[in-house]
Structure 1
Amino acid sequence: MQKQFNQFKVRAVCAIAAGLFFANAAWAVDPFTVRDIRVEGLQRVEPGTIFASLPFRVGETYSDDKGTSAIRALFGLGLFKDVRLEVSGDVLVVIVEERPTVADVDFVGTKEFDKDVLKKALRDAGIADGQPFDKALADKAEQELKRQYINKSLYGVEIITTVTPIERNRVNLTFSVVEGDVAKINEIHITGNKAFSESTLLGLFDLDTGGWLSWYTKSDRYSRTKLNADIETLRSYYLSRGYLEFKVDTTQVAISPDKQNIAITLNVTEGERFVVSGVKLEGNYLGKEDEFKSLVTIKPGEPYNADAVAETTKAFTDYFGVFGFAFAKVEAVPQIDRSNNRVAFVLQAEPSRRAYVRRINVSGNNRTRDEVVRREFRQFESSWYDGDKIRLSRDRVDRLGFFTEVNVETQEVTGTSDQVDITVNVAEKPTGNLQLGAGYSSADSVSLMFGIKQENVFGSGNYLGIEVNTSKSNRQLVLSTIDPYFTADGISRSIDVYDRTSQPLSGQGGDYKLKTRGASIRFGVPFTETDTVYFGSGYESLTIVPGTNLPVSYLDYANQFGFKSNSIPLTVGWSRDSRDSALVPTSGRYQKVYADWGIAGDIKFVRANYQIQQYIPINKQFTLALNGELGWGKGLNGQPYPLFKNYYSGGLGSVRGFQQGSLGPRDSSDLSVGAPKKLTLNAELIAPFPGAGNDRTLRMYGFVDAGNVFKDSYKLSGPDGLRASTGLGISWISPVGPLRIAYAVPLRKQAGDKIERLQFQIGTSF
């Protein structure tokens, strides 16, 4: 009896100890064979989830260790707030209490963020509709929301989480937000600078203390990411001007007690200014030392420039890549002479081993087909690694215009010493444009407009455009399609079909009509990686429908060619584009030439046009943009040049300050009819918009324009007849496209010129 009593005490002590470690664990029992397992307390969780987590099955032996493991596994599911095991004979009973399920998540008082953005942030933190509710997760979600607001400089945000139980063991979560005011930067200081003034250094920063356009640029909102970028800009500024040992000692960011003002202080040590004393090469240069030396941009005798050092090492690495050495290592080792403030560089190179490209992968293209990216690649699988071809391939993919980012990564193949995989990471952007509109006027009554343009239709890389306008005075239907890879060799094909009817009631007060119908096909042949030659042909029919107040020039045209005329022109062209950006260029050149030759039909003519644009970066903030355009046309076979092939000048895109298309000859009805010769010259100095800092989407520019259109008999040998203007303008990359506004003052004008000082357009620069 005493022995049994002692055994009971030992068992009781063990049970109490187990309860201390696992509050819901069962009393210790002797091992037994499980005849059945019952589960109690389930509401939404499937019994199979319980059984799959138990470390034993019916017919197996149960022990205290297995019971402890079962409780741990069930708690680990995160679905239960209480778990108990009870033994009834040889039946094991699993008793659970489920956590409440989140029925709905709502936000009150949110203005800075869309609710969908906040719900996604909470989903990443583990809080979402249908998920088990956990108070710890709710606290984590609250902190995540605060982090989102702090990233927007809303440091005074207050968030209150309300948990409301509802039927069927569910809860509603409500996050009540008091956003407060945005904390703004009111002070930025740099200490320790001697070589450059504080105002010069702060002018490099994207962050500032605000201006009258801060509501747009948000440059006075503190962001750790932006501050780090500005610090790197500051470091690069010093390192590129000889300060080899420049460093930022400390960065202090202080926020006021009311969490409304932020002060930033950077403490820097400039060090001495060093001059490069020499450059020498060491290591294995594949016997091509002279070729590598030609790539060195580090200049002895000039101040140390970190950009030149980085450019040289990159050029060396890239040149090794041309010969297949994907793992080449190039290091610029400085040898510092502090007594004379001089530094010499030793360029140590180790080409390592030559490599093949095993596989090329494409990542991030959720809509664009793989072949659209792969056909732009000039580096092939199972070929020698070629750095030049890889860079060219990346640039070609970027020029497609379908992606906001294109990055190429090279990874070594595990288990081999001479193979690499290349991964092309892309971030897609919307490539479609849908336009819907309606209008009403006394002349047109109700008119409907519809347009759809898709540069990457169905992810195929093809372009498709449809434009419809039901306006009575300007009715049109246009269908355009471009297949950039009509052949496997990269020959493109463009097809245009159009039907336009113009009835200029408001301009001339008449009811005559001009009908233009036609179709064209054009092919583009890439002769080099940067040059493309175009050729094609088409058919165009022009019908003048007589009516009241028909302009004299149109009547003269009809007397020569008839009220209905047609032409079959051949088209040839060439283009080359080396600009750094098609939308906001700061450097590079763009050229194009095209010519039309009317070889058949009622009208015979030839027309040619040449345009060149040059962008010259003056510094980080200022760019000089130059544009020139020359057009020429002539009638053939003794015929005069056809009126409707004339060039026009005046307004944005040519000579600003004059009414759009108003320059040049006019007929007796005072209608501008254009001319077969055209000359346009533009110069712009592009600068930051006051208060916008270094924001490149909003800029201002000063300009000088000159140009005109001229009759066939006019000789383009002097300035006589040219119109000129000067003025100021604003360019803004708006959500609907590039918007340009210009105010111009004519410098050269003549009596009868139609002046229009303020003009705007949505489109490209020139």
Structure 2
Amino acid sequence: MKLSMFRRRPALLALAACLAPALACPAPAQEPPAPAPADETADSPAEATPYTVAIKGVEEHDQLTTLLEEVSRLVALREQPPPSPVGLRRRAEADRERLAAALRSAGYFDAVMDIDVDVETSPALVTITIEEGPRYTVSSVRLEDAKGQPLPTDVLKAEDLGLGKGAPARGPDVLAAEDRITPRFAERGYAYARVVDRRLVVDHIARTMDVTFQVDPGLPIKYGDLSIQGLEDVEAKAVRRRIPWKPGDPYRPLQLEEAREDLAELGVFSSVRLRLADQPMPDGTAPVEVIVQERDMRFIGFGATYGTDDGFGANAYWGHRNLLGGAENFRVGATIAGIGRNSTTDAGEFDYDLTATYREPDFLSRNQSLTLSSSAVLEHPDAYRRKALVLSGIVERPISDDITASLGVTFEQSQVTENEQRTNNTLFGIPAALTIDKSNDLLNATSGWRFSAAATPYLAAFGDSSSFTIARFQGSAYLGLGDTDNYVLAGRAVYGFIVGGGLLDVPADKRFYAGGGGSIRGYGYQKVGPRDAENDPQGGLSLFEASIEMRIKVAENIGIVPFIDAGNVYESEYPSLSDGLRYGAGIGVRYYTPVGPIRVDAAVPLRRQSGDNSFQLYVSIGQAF
């Protein structure tokens, strides 16, 4: 029996021949230029010997042909011909071992190669003819420790490496299997495991290769002390409370990435890195170093919207990302809307909203946040006039990576005028919500789905309204068509209802309305649903909406979106299908930016009522859903 044993020693060319050609013979384009032999150095281009290269015998193996072309200096240096036929023959002969090593790395240990140089033609022709022979296969894969003893199978099995018996004896596959060893040990707490040797035994009679990896797993590691570098304004406690382990807990590599993502979500760092110490401590613990870079803590912003019926709107805000040193976010903002609104009301009646919001991360528990907000509102839609002061406190907690729940309390004092009748309302609410997000992108989803459910019981302690409960459910789905994201089918459905009071017992601002850029396009804001004697929107106690879009990218940053929307608002607590649906259809343009798509939608109502415009135009940032 004829055997070859290759160990990982630089002096042995045989190992390199078995492994990836990138290790044995790197592509010329990646090599530093080496001085050419004297007879390969031309005094002038006229003295050069131009040539072409043909590789024959492996035409049916595209991957093997590509591999040979990648490692061949003959191929890589065709634009730099040698000065003479002698130089060309030397270049061809120098290529022989590189090509042989590439064949062995692909599992062809018995390949036969012939290189013929024909200098009688112009240009000269170099023909490389290969008979690859049978491909060797892997006979066994073994894992052993530094003393040659088998590794415990409860930590790692050979079959976990993706290199099984009967697989082609390819060098890249051997290296890929080796690369999987230390991550698998790290997953089980062996943070400093390393591969100390690799043995390859080739049986030329059986045409097989036996693979043995020698591994020093080290000891299971526990987390040690935590050090933090780069803090200036942010307090260390803000970092420490985001760490998902305690000193002495078993090491798990996924926890380092989890901590990095959680720290980045605080919004106060422009970069976050976590790393273990280079060596463990004598007691088997490993110190962890957190390296952060803080970003600018103060920020400002502004935005604008436009709708044919809604008119122009604008907003501006100022905020601080680290108000008290613990990554608390504070933001104040102002919004004005209804500029140029197409309305039956006084054109000078604009809508105003002044808001202040404070968000504290890790409130009472890691990843649980508290949001306090106050808002002063003055709005004048066609349906009603409203002045209100709203105070709220919401606690939000992620249940899993995709599911978030929230619970809070609200207080609202409002004055609502509807058809010249004024009501004063004092409401205490307990908003609760559950959100599931399985989509791949928050701003521009191309696959997955989302679902949200929200319910708010309102207690009318004082004033003119009764107690009632509002519930709303919304779902959307996204389906990419083809191998790219150039075609995405998107759909949305909304269902809502109010129970506990009649239509006139519920304040006008708490009823359901439909129509507008984020609802049923083609109709004006709040223009879908019941209307009063003045033909103004009256609102309802139940709501149904549905939309479908085809998002088509026609260029890297440009897309068109044909769509159709449907829905209605009903006076009863549950939708009455006998009242039918309102439909709107149109087409939109999307300009994709790093902060989300800019949206321009034009739509027409398909079931117009008195007072409906023939079309609507909407401009905003973000997809419709």
* TM-score category of the 2 structures, normalised to the smaller one: 0.5 to 0.7
Distance 1:242 1:300 in 2: 23
> For 1:369-380, what aligned pairs fall within 5 Å after superposition?
369-380=235-246
2:584–2:604 Cα contact (<8 Å) kept:
yes
Instruction: Note closer, same or farther for the CA distance 1:728–1:764 as it changes in structure 2 (3 Å cut).
Output: closer
Instruction: Say which of 352, 358, 379 aligns to 1:475.
Output: 352
Q: Give the TM-score, by structure 1 length.
A: 0.51
Identity rate, percent: 17
Instruction: Say which of 428, 433, 442 aligns to 1:568.
Output: 428
> Counterpart in 1 of 2:342?
none
1:645 paired to 2:522: no
| Paired amino acid for 1:669 | E
> For 1:613-624, what aligned pairs fall within 5 Å after superposition?
613-614=476-477, 619=483, 621-622=485-486, 624=488
1:742 paired to 2:589: no
2:375–2:390 Cα contact (<8 Å) kept:
yes
1:596 paired to 2:431: no
2:433–2:454 Cα contact (<8 Å) kept:
yes
**Tell me, what secondary structure is at the counterpart of 2:153?**
coil
Instruction: Note closer, same or farther for the CA distance 1:649–1:337 as it changes in structure 2 (3 Å cut).
Output: farther
- Residue 449 of structure 1 and its aligned partner are, at CA, apart by 7.0
- Residue 385 of structure 1 and its aligned partner are, at CA, apart by 1.4
> Counterpart in 2 of 1:634?
498
CA-based RMSD of the aligned residues comes to 5.3
Distance 1:741 1:606 in 2: 34
**Residues 496-542 of structure 1, C-alpha deviations (whole Å, 9 max, x = no match):** 212212246xx69xxx8421222111222444565432111112222
Greater shift in the superposed pair: 423-432 or 459-468: 423-432
Instruction: Note closer, same or farther for the CA distance 1:656–1:473 as it changes in structure 2 (3 Å cut).
Output: closer
> Counterpart in 2 of 1:208?
none
- Residue 245 of structure 1 and its aligned partner are, at CA, apart by 7.1
> Counterpart in 2 of 1:326?
191
Instruction: Note closer, same or farther for the CA distance 1:760–1:632 as it changes in structure 2 (3 Å cut).
Output: same
| Paired amino acid for 1:704 | F
| Paired amino acid for 1:475 | Y
> Counterpart in 1 of 2:368?
491
> Counterpart in 2 of 1:608?
471
2:444–2:623 Cα contact (<8 Å) kept:
no
- Residue 412 of structure 1 and its aligned partner are, at CA, apart by 1.8
Q: Give the TM-score, by structure 2 length.
A: 0.61
**Tell me, what secondary structure is at the counterpart of 1:595?**
strand
| Paired amino acid for 1:662 | K
1:276–1:344 Cα contact (<8 Å) kept:
no
> For 1:308-347, what aligned pairs fall within 5 Å after superposition?
317-329=182-194
- Residue 398 of structure 1 and its aligned partner are, at CA, apart by 3.1
| Paired amino acid for 2:565 | A
2:321–2:327 Cα contact (<8 Å) kept:
yes
Distance 2:182 2:273 in 1: 18
1:721 paired to 2:581: yes
**Residues 463-509 of structure 1, C-alpha deviations (whole Å, 9 max, x = no match):** 212124588622332221111222145432221212212246xx69x
Instruction: Note closer, same or farther for the CA distance 1:613–1:307 as it changes in structure 2 (3 Å cut).
Output: farther
Instruction: Note closer, same or farther for the CA distance 1:672–1:456 as it changes in structure 2 (3 Å cut).
Output: farther
1:634–1:712 Cα contact (<8 Å) kept:
no
Instruction: Say which of 347, 368, 379 aligns to 1:502.
Output: 379
Unaligned runs of 5+ in 1: 1-190, 195-237, 255-268, 439-446, 546-553, 693-697
> For 1:171-570, what aligned pairs fall within 5 Å after superposition?
247=70, 282-283=142-143, 286-288=152-154, 317-329=182-194, 351-413=217-279, 416=282, 418-430=284-296, 432-435=298-301, 451-457=317-323, 459-468=325-334, 473-503=350-380, 513-528=385-400, 531-545=403-417, 554-555=418-419, 558=421, 563-570=423-430
**Tell me, what secondary structure is at the counterpart of 2:459?**
strand
Distance 2:411 2:532 in 1: 28
Greater shift in the superposed pair: 275-284 or 614-623: 275-284
1:654–1:682 Cα contact (<8 Å) kept:
no
| Paired amino acid for 1:740 | I
Unaligned runs of 5+ in 2: 1-52, 57-61, 80-98, 108-134, 145-150, 305-312, 338-348
Higher radius of gyration, 1 or 2? 1
2:598–2:621 Cα contact (<8 Å) kept:
yes
- Residue 433 of structure 1 and its aligned partner are, at CA, apart by 3.4
| Paired amino acid for 1:609 | R
**Tell me, what secondary structure is at the counterpart of 1:544?**
strand
1:678 paired to 2:538: no
> Counterpart in 2 of 1:730?
590
Instruction: Note closer, same or farther for the CA distance 1:333–1:457 as it changes in structure 2 (3 Å cut).
Output: farther
Distance 2:55 2:588 in 1: 37
**Tell me, what secondary structure is at the counterpart of 1:352?**
coil
| Paired amino acid for 2:363 | F
Distance 1:276 1:454 in 2: 64
1:761 paired to 2:616: no
Distance 1:760 1:531 in 2: 31
Instruction: Note closer, same or farther for the CA distance 1:415–1:743 as it changes in structure 2 (3 Å cut).
Output: closer
- Residue 282 of structure 1 and its aligned partner are, at CA, apart by 3.0
| Paired amino acid for 2:466 | I
> Counterpart in 1 of 2:12?
none
- Residue 326 of structure 1 and its aligned partner are, at CA, apart by 0.7
Distance 1:299 1:756 in 2: 68
| Paired amino acid for 2:254 | D
Instruction: Say which of 693, 696, 707 aligns to 2:566.
Output: 707
2:443–2:622 Cα contact (<8 Å) kept:
no
| Paired amino acid for 1:679 | E
Distance 2:400 2:419 in 1: 47
- Greater RCO, 1 or 2 (C-alpha within 8 Å, sep 6+): 2
Instruction: Note closer, same or farther for the CA distance 1:193–1:450 as it changes in structure 2 (3 Å cut).
Output: farther
Distance 1:336 1:720 in 2: 77
- Residue 760 of structure 1 and its aligned partner are, at CA, apart by 1.7
- Residue 397 of structure 1 and its aligned partner are, at CA, apart by 2.3
Distance 2:452 2:544 in 1: 16
> Counterpart in 2 of 1:172?
none
